[in-house]
Amino acid sequence: MSIQSETYALYSKTYLDPYTKEYKNIITISSAPKGELSNLIRKTIFETLSRFKKREAGCSLLFRSFKFYNEVMTLDELPELFTFLASNGYEIDTELTKMINTNKNMIDNDQKLIAFIIYKN
């Protein structure tokens, strides 16, 4: 029996809350995760941040807040997210994160890489 692993990227992204009309720095993930983390994910379509700057249409995966179930997770909840990840079989890949963050050609101006995480199942 071999151990399989999945790698995901966590990003910080500016989000216009459609209800409060406030800008928030939220945490998103690159693809639908396996394991317990999947219970914290929800899909959304991002609102246009400015009439001068359009984002590509499509769905993004973001995290539900630990504090308020119907809210999105913001950057201030990052320590709680890392604790959750460590407690549920996910590892933070610091080497890959450093490598990508030092290569300016691979950085997306629309979102900022927080970390790569690995789930082994």
Q: How far apart are the first and last CA of the chain?
A: 11
Over residues 69-109, the pLDDT tens digits come to: 889 999 999 999 999 999 999 999 998 888 887 876 655 66
| Unique residue bearing structure tokens 């609102």 | 47
What span, in angstroms and rounded, lies between the C-alpha atoms of 100 and 77?
Answer: 23
Stated pTM of the model: 0.85
Which pLDDT score is estimated for 121?
77
What span, in angstroms and rounded, lies between the C-alpha atoms of 113 and 14?
Answer: 12
Our count of domains for the chain comes to 1
Give residue 45's domain range: 5-120
User: Residue 61: how many CA atoms within 13 Å on its side-chain side?
Assistant: 13
Sign of the alpha-carbon dihedral angle for 25, 27, 45, 51? positive
Over residues 12-68, the pLDDT tens digits come to: 988 888 888 888 999 999 999 999 999 999 988 766 656 665 555 457 899 999 998
